[in-house]
Amino acid sequence: MAETPATGGAPRTHDFGLAVPLPADAPRPGALGRGLKHLFFAVVVRPLVAVVLGLNVRHRERLPTAGPAILVANHNSHLDTMVLMALLRPGLLARVRPVAAADYFLRGRAVAWFALNVLGVLPVMRGGRKIDPSYDALAHSRQALDRGEVLVLFPEGSRGEAERRQAFKSGIAHLAADRPEVPVVPIFLHGLGKALPKGSLLPVPFFCDVFVGEPVRGGEERWADDRAALVSELETRIEALAAEGSFAAWECRHASDKVEMKESWR
């Protein structure tokens, strides 16, 4: 299994009834996992991105070249994670850690092994504190940032319908406030939810777009005492990035809203 930092005794875990117990300390892939990760991206992911998706990337120069950093994006497909990881320079790949739902990726031992040891997932148990009051959903992310790693995080919390965005949850604001000097890079993804929609197993060719925004930092004075303002700023920046593309209006600004967007993103 994935290596974990020494804790001075038996590793502590949170038992949520998963196939693999959720470690209290952020897991780290070993040498074998890191090698398999580079192989998987070289043989599978990068060719898929280059050949099948027809990916158009704008403002690539805004992507981080080193950690710590946090990439935040809208989320409609499992391809979102693969694409964001593939956009970073190969030398950084081993230090890129997607934050993902433990109740999804740790349900079975085989998938859990691949997620933890190859992809380097930082598992988060949704609703974990209701089950175990001692559980800290951000602990793994803080540890990874302290090690200089790059997080891939989707503030919506789960995949939505294609081209519909859900409201961001507040976890990203708490994490940014805990690590105020770490850049948070907003990214808008378009088309990946059609290339591999939720519930599909195989991707289909589809032109996809990635728009990279200017980073923000949790330590900025304007939201020092207002974390909701940081969440709102990230949402606004992603909407502004969407406006750079020639896309039809989203059905809804948020999936929970019942009012259709009237203006176009053109």
The mean pLDDT of 136-151, rounded to a whole number, is 94
Query: Does the residue 1 lie in any domain?
Result: no
The answer to whether residue 195 sits within a structural domain is yes
261 domain-assigned:
no
Q: Can you give the pLDDT at residue 166? A: 73
> Does residue 259 surpass a pLDDT of 60?
no
Mean pLDDT rounded to a whole number for the chain: 81
Question: Higher pLDDT residue, 220 or 166?
Answer: 220
Looking at the 3D structure of the chain, how many domains does it have?
A: 1
Q: Does residue 256 fall inside a structural domain?
A: no
pLDDT at 256 over 90: no
Is residue 76 in some structural domain?
A: yes
* Higher pLDDT pick, 8 / 21: 21
Structure confidence at residue 66 (pLDDT): 95
Which tops the pLDDT comparison, 177 or 251? 177
Q: Domain range spanning residue 162?
A: 31-244
Q: Kindly give, in sequence order, each residue whose CB lies less than 8 Å from that of residue 259, ignoring residues fewer than 6 positions away.
A: 252
- Kindly state whether residue 78 falls inside one of the protein's structural domains: yes
Query: Is 4 among the domain residues?
Result: no
Looking at the domain assignment, is residue 18 inside a domain?
A: no
Question: Exposed, middle or buried, 243 (CB in 10 Å: 0-12/13-18/19+)?
Answer: middle
Query: Comparing 258 with 35, which gets the higher pLDDT?
Result: 35
Has residue 197 got a pLDDT over 90?
A: no
Q: What is the mean pLDDT of residues 66-76?
A: 93
**What CATH number has the domain bearing residue 81?**
3.40.1130.10
